């Protein structure tokens, strides 16, 4: 447990981000989460694989982390790290209906000596999974614009897309994610993540406490399939996996996987990066 110690200076003040407010709203909402409504196409997703789109993702993350107290001021005003130089790092950007930057999330895939960002404080916990030849992808730099606070559908958009890309396209086995301890119940109860590492201070967010969680993507997929086979199952537990079961079909998953793969594989010099738009017309329910 990380505690502030008297004499070590003022207690750091971390303000809740839009993601934090959305997670809290989901946890405290007494009503069950329904399947995504037809109006969920208010958002568009694109793979940020060109310089201009990456810039938007980096600047949103900086703005959110800075306003929440997780980042020091920097003249560059971008949240970038060495993992962004990897050709396989997957950065997703969400836009609202007006084309404004709404949210972003990044997947870093475990490969080579550089490992994952969470190796900085959780290398010991990751090692047993690597010995089992598990293919790990870290979910990181999740940020939502402040005006999107409470956007449950947007959060589902992002998670649906990174799941399809990691599992269907890249064939990876597990997600790992560093989360603030107060967010852990959301990931565990509503998505099926399990604790993997104890609470430790994370230097990348100014020493804020972090827990390491893991999601077995095959188990997640099997849970969704079980919900698909029991359409009458109650949503009283507000399990987000039920939203996947209501929304997806094999055809729409194939379509989304193809779009994500083609965008990520686009050459950096290619000026054409198609937007994933009107998702409701494809029936995916993102």
Q: How many residues does the chain have?
A: 286
| Residue 236: pLDDT over 80 | no
Which band of pLDDT confidence, cut at 50, 70 and 90, is reported for residue 272?
Answer: very low
| Residue 27: pLDDT over 90 | no
Q: Taking residues 175-180, report their average pLDDT.
A: 95
Cα angle for residues 28, 34, 37 (degrees, 5° grid) = 125
**Hunting for tokens 């920097």 — which residue is that?**
74
Rounded distance between C-alpha atoms, residue 244 and residue 50, angstroms: 29
Question: Strand, helix or coil at 257?
Answer: helix
Q: What is the mean pLDDT of the chain?
A: 75
Q: Domain segments of the chain: what residues?
A: 36-266
For domain 36-266, the CATH class is alpha beta
Which band of pLDDT confidence, cut at 50, 70 and 90, is reported for residue 56?
Answer: very high
pLDDT tens sequence across 8-19:
444 455 455 554
Instruction: Report yes or no: 61 and 79 within 8 Å, Cβ to Cβ.
Output: yes
| Residue 268: pLDDT over 60 | no
Which band of pLDDT confidence, cut at 50, 70 and 90, is reported for residue 55?
Answer: very high
Q: Would you state the pLDDT for residue 75?
A: 86
| Residue 251: pLDDT over 90 | no
Q: Taking residues 94-107, report their average pLDDT.
A: 92
Q: Would you state the pLDDT for residue 113?
A: 82
Helix axes of 240-247 and 152-163: crossing angle, nearest 10 degrees:
70
């Amino acid at each position: 447990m990380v505690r502030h110690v008297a004499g070590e200076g003022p207690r750091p003040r971390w303000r809740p981000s839009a993601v934090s407010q959305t997670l809290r709203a989901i946890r405290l909402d007494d009503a069950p989460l329904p399947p995504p409504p037809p109006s969920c196409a208010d958002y568009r997703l694109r793979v940020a694989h060109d310089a201009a789109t990456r810039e938007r993702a980096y600047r949103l993350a900086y703005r959110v982390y800075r306003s929440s107290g997780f980042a020091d001021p920097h003249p560059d005003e971008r949240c970038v790290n060495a993992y962004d130089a990897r050709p396989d790092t997957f950065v997703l950007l969400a836009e609202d209906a007006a084309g404004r930057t709404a949210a972003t999330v990044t997947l870093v895939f475990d490969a080579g000596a550089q490992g994952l960002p969470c190796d900085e404080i959780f290398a010991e916990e990751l090692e047993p999974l690597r010995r089992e030849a598990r293919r790990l992808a870290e979910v990181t730099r999740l940020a939502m614009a402040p005006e999107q606070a409470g956007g449950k559908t947007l959060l589902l958009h992002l998670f649906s897309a990174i799941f399809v890309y990691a599992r269907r396209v890249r064939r990876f086995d597990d997600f790992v994610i560093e989360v603030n301890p107060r967010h852990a119940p959301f990931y565990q109860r509503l998505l099926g993540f399990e604790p993997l590492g104890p609470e430790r201070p994370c230097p990348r967010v100014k020493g804020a406490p972090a827990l390491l969680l893991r999601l077995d993507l095959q188990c997640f997929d099997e849970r969704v399939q079980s919900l698909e086979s029991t359409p009458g199952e109650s949503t009283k537990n507000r399990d987000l996996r039920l939203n996947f079961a209501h929304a997806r079909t094999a055809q729409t998953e194939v379509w989304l996987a193809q779009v994500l793969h083609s965008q990520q594989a686009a050459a950096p010099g290619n000026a054409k990066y198609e937007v994933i738009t009107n998702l409701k017309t494809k029936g995916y329910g993102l």
